[in-house]
Structure 1
């Protein structure tokens, strides 16, 4: 029986998930030459090709696809072993990929996550805030802060906070346009919102809750771009309170009449919840989000 190079499986997983040697090398904090050498050694040990090489990257062969599930299982068992050994006995290493909604990512957790990373210098933290391109079910992320709960699969999920959104407009826009005195008046104003056929979760479809059939005349897939358009004076926009409250030039419109309520959920696979490298991040997200509950659910000081 051939000697199996178990240690090389982490290189296999990194290349399989990243698709490129250079990306896998950055993730593992090594050189692409080392990654290539380890993949070659693993293939020699198994006696089969695991990847198809091409100018665009590496894709799994049928044998590579067969190896993915047991390799992921071994990685999870290694994490569990660290949990058994005990906190602080060994430095936590590896990569954690966190998937977050754009608003929560850019306007809340992004300034806090570096403090977590500095406490665990041997961990590589990846924050993906374009949530629609990352699939938790395909294990493209380890942990997700989501706007909804999974509909199927073996997941741990917990509500970490509710949050409130309001309709906002710039002071300049409100000064230049007819007054908004009742809900029906909103239909006469242009709205900024998401591109309708790119809304990846019903929780982002706000406008129908304001007025049935209301459609945005300026559409973008980015809430940051929506914020920019609103501050530029294009029209009205639905924004989380914790975003709108950051800018003195934004005014909430009828916030007592039109609050929109949503929730943030922490989601990960059941077999990851107690993994040694994952658990500290989950606890960090819980703590930071819980501390900011009032900020997520505030009421605007400036409104009409």
Structure 2
């Protein structure tokens, strides 16, 4: 009987890429190789192990039951390889590679994007990927290395640090408010159209805040994007609840009921314990914590109403 061929660490990297993406083509792009090479490596790994790791269907590759168990072992090996790299390298030499950061659209587009240039100067050999899709990416499946979250995981193998509180207020365009009666109480808010999130697409409980202002508010315009909400507010389509760090850059906005309505939410930094000590991941996490602390007024400061 012919002995089974050995598989290599490279084969496991191909396996992890397909397991995480579910698509040969996507895995091939991540690994910078061809679709055929990925398929061949997966076939070789299955033949070597004499097990079926994936079910193939028109929609892609889906892990079998034993494949689900195998990915846990493969990820442990991946984590050990990362730790070995961390032990080998030290100082600036370790700060190289790619780190993927998942963050809500608001803090990503209106704060972090303004800070990236400083980070790239400090870490010229480190590439940062900033992902701002609505759903929180899975750290356990290594879809991201670090996540900024409004509502951190309740359990699991994660390191969680609170980054900051941030304040939200009601805003309207100055042009809109100048043509309408003054808002003197929360009940007066019901006389105005509101802008907010699509209720059944709110991906974090922390974003469901219209009811905290007044239970009778029903938004007239809804969007899953805070950028679209801001644009609609600036165009005078109604009132909107916005974070201070976004509204402070908009001179055409005016606070409404600034003393009576102040909401507070929180941002958390979340990392998987297996990779939290890897130098490139730690470098990004340390930078995020420092840059937010150095700009606390942007998150907590107040704008005086006109």
Q: TM-score, normalised by structure 1?
A: 0.88
**How do 1:172-191 residues align onto structure 2 when only pairs under 5 Å count?**
172-191=175-194
1:206 aligns to what?
Answer: 209
2:102 aligns to what?
Answer: 99
2:238 aligns to what?
Answer: 235
Q: Structure 1 residue 218: deviation in Å?
A: 1.9
Distance in 2, matches of 1:151 and 1:63, equals 27
> 2:140 aligned with 1:141, yes or no?
no
Q: Structure 1 residue 133: deviation in Å?
A: 5.0
Aligned partners of 1:83 and 1:276 also within 8 Å: yes
Residue 99 to residue 89, structure 1, CA distance change in 2 (3 Å): closer
Aligned partners of 2:147 and 2:271 also within 8 Å: yes
* Number of corresponding residues: 303
Distance in 2, matches of 1:196 and 1:231, equals 22
Q: Structure 1 residue 137: deviation in Å?
A: 4.9
- The runs of 5 or more residues in structure 1 that have no matched partner are none
Distance in 1, matches of 2:107 and 2:295, equals 11
Aligned partners of 2:28 and 2:38 also within 8 Å: yes
> Could you list the per-position Cα deviations for residues 273-304 of structure 1 after superposition, in whole angstroms to 9, with x for gaps in the alignment?
21234212211211222222111112125x25
> 2:56 aligned with 1:46, yes or no?
no
Q: TM-score, normalised by structure 2?
A: 0.88
Distance in 2, matches of 1:116 and 1:37, equals 39
Distance in 1, matches of 2:136 and 2:146, equals 14
- The runs of 5 or more residues in structure 2 that have no matched partner are none
> Could you list the per-position Cα deviations for residues 180-201 of structure 1 after superposition, in whole angstroms to 9, with x for gaps in the alignment?
1233311211111111222232
Aligned partners of 2:110 and 2:246 also within 8 Å: yes
Distance in 2, matches of 1:266 and 1:192, equals 28
Q: Structure 1 residue 127: deviation in Å?
A: 2.4
Distance in 2, matches of 1:42 and 1:288, equals 44
> Could you list the per-position Cα deviations for residues 195-245 of structure 1 after superposition, in whole angstroms to 9, with x for gaps in the alignment?
122223221122222223423222222111111111111100000111112
1:29 aligns to what?
Answer: 32
2:303 aligns to what?
Answer: 300
Distance in 1, matches of 2:45 and 2:273, equals 29
Aligned partners of 2:94 and 2:279 also within 8 Å: no
